[in-house]
A and B are shown apart, each in its own frame.
Chain A
Amino acid sequence: MSFLTKIRRKTPNEFFLIPGLIGLGIFVFAICYSIYMSFYRYKLGFMQPNYVGLTNYSMLLHDPVFTTAVKNTLFFVAIASTSELLYGIFLAVLLYWSNKRYLFIPFLIVPMILPAVNLVVIWRFLFHPDYGFVNQILTSIGLSAINPLNNPKWAMPTIILMDIWQMTPFVMIIVLAGLSTVPPEVLTAARIDGARKFQLTLKILLPMTKNVILAVFLLRLIDAFRIFAKVYLLTRGGPGVATETIELQIYNRALRGLEIGLGSTMSVIFILISLVVIIPYTIMVLKNWRR
């Protein structure tokens, strides 16, 4: 037996984890570094880090723009992912009972693969105040033109509508896959008892896919925190601060302004908020993967 084979035999199984752990370790280091830097005032390339204690935190908590950004982010995450979940389940059920579902599915999932830039072009053109498609229709039937992207009250709902348009197919396709795993015998048995489609759906199909539904909801919640490109390209946080989000704040104030200390504080706050949805998801995966 050669020397190399001996070493190979003796390496513990944990050795195989190392490549991935090194890569992920860099990001853990990055998080720790953010926590550390959140107590400093530090402008990259301009000044050395300067310990300021909790000043960054108290400053941000009293900063009206940042607190608005936090509220907007939470509002978006809650409304968008809940609507996508309900609408997605609804569409999945319709497809489940449709005999032509394979005609619909390929077209319905197209929005999901479109880059954010494409969506923004479409949306900006649809809602353009002067020659937008929506206004052309509205004025032609005698209604007054609208300009939701420049209206502080309607800008965020418009972004949410755009996200629903794009991401509902994701919920739909996963829930549909879940529904399809319900064994047909269960349905046949219930049907013999005289249950109708509506009852079958509510009483049997959906309860039997509740794990999938929970999983897809958690995935949507986690993903809804990542709306940077859509908001940045559609409204840049405006009008005013109506669509300002935490990601936009980090991008504009921390990176464009090179304020590493303040940006780290924002990142720490952002991570703490997102942990609320990440922890249940982690527990779910741990349970699923246990061998």
Chain B
Amino acid sequence: MASLINVFLIVVLLTVLVPLGVLVMISLLPPGEWSIPPKSPTLDNFVYVFKEFRFYRNMLNTFLFIGLAILISLVLALPTAYAIARLQIKYYVWVFTVVLVILVKSLPPGSLLVPVYELLWKLRLTNTVLGVALSYQVYTLPFVIWILTSFLLDLPREVETAARIDGAGRFARLRHIIFPLSIPGIISAVILGFLNLWNEYMYSSVIVSSRNLQTAAVVLGQLVTSEYVYDWGILASANIISVLPAIFFVSFVQKNISKAITGGIKG
């Protein structure tokens, strides 16, 4: 019985690995060739993507935008999450806040695109780093509040009670106890935020139009949607390079990944 299950899982594994293997094989194709597996594999595509295409600049943009967006969210989210999870608050205020967090977290980002774009346009923030980071708040702000709240709810109350007895006020407890203890929660918020936004296409492509501020996902998107894909090898190798940071992040937290994803869902 157990071996039958494993055989079945191997079949499932193949359905996952074959498309991934195809992507890797495409990246090794020399220009003009499209046989799988490649007859004369080459690494030239990767060299081209880095040297001529300067793809790393777009990847650095992505890092910059996401980093700034998550930083803004963390600053706003930590006190809020602390209050939702720990402090005595009037019940209707609590419900109002939670509903707001979940509503903004769950709304399709597309439904907020028009007003957010218009607001940033009027503030002359389109085509700026800050503008993109602010537009990403649609994703990051409710998400970070959500992750931190569910993290703080799981934290034992005793540590804080001890500090309260010693006379520490709420501000002191937030700074000296809650903040250091929520570092693991903050790390999982950062990683999941990166994974989410690395993929972001809609806001990044609308808010930014100048080539040297574009994100990796947008540049790749333009390549793949051009009517005639002239060079699959370059396209695929750029894709593989772009996914390396994500794989790095996941392997970094591999053990905790399911815990991080399931944060906030309780049985």
Interface residues in chain A, defined as those with a beta carbon under 8 Å from any beta carbon in chain B: 5, 8-9, 13-14, 16-24, 26-28, 30-31, 33-34, 37, 44, 91, 94-95, 97-100, 104, 106-111, 113-118, 120-126, 131, 133, 136, 165, 170, 173-174, 176-178, 181, 197, 209, 211-212, 215-216, 219, 222, 225-226, 228-229, 232-233, 236, 246-247, 250-251, 254-255, 260, 263-264, 266-267, 270-271, 274, 277-278, 281-282, 285-286, 288-289, 291
Contacts and interface: CB of A to CB of B under 8 A. Distances in A.
B202 interface: yes
Interface size class, chain B:
35 or more
A13 B26 contact: no
A287 to B, nearest CB: 10
A95 B221 contact: no
Q: Per DSSP, are chain B's interface residues mostly helix, strand or loop, or mixed? A: helix
B16 A107 contact: yes
Contact of B80 (A16, A123, A289): A16
Interface string B2-32: 1001101100110111011011001000000
A80 B202 CA distance: 21
User: Main secondary structure on chain A at its contact with chain B?
Assistant: helix
A72 to B, nearest CB: 14
B156 interface: no
B177 to A, nearest CB: 14
A16 B22 contact: no
Contacts of A98: 2, 5-6, 9
- Residue with the greatest number of chain A CB neighbours at <10 A, chosen from B13, B195, B261: B261
27 contacts: A13-B83, A13-B170, A14-B89, A14-B90, A16-B80, A18-B79, A19-B77, A20-B141, A23-B73, A27-B107, A31-B112, A33-B115, A94-B8, A111-B20, A115-B198, A115-B217, A115-B220, A117-B220, A121-B235, A133-B22, A178-B267, A247-B110, A251-B110, A271-B108, A282-B99, A286-B95, A286-B98
A30 B112 contact: yes
A251 B84 contact: no
A133 B113 contact: no
A106 B178 CA distance: 32
Nearest to A42: B118
Given A24-B100, A98-B6, A282-B99, A121 B236 contact: yes
B113 A8 contact: no
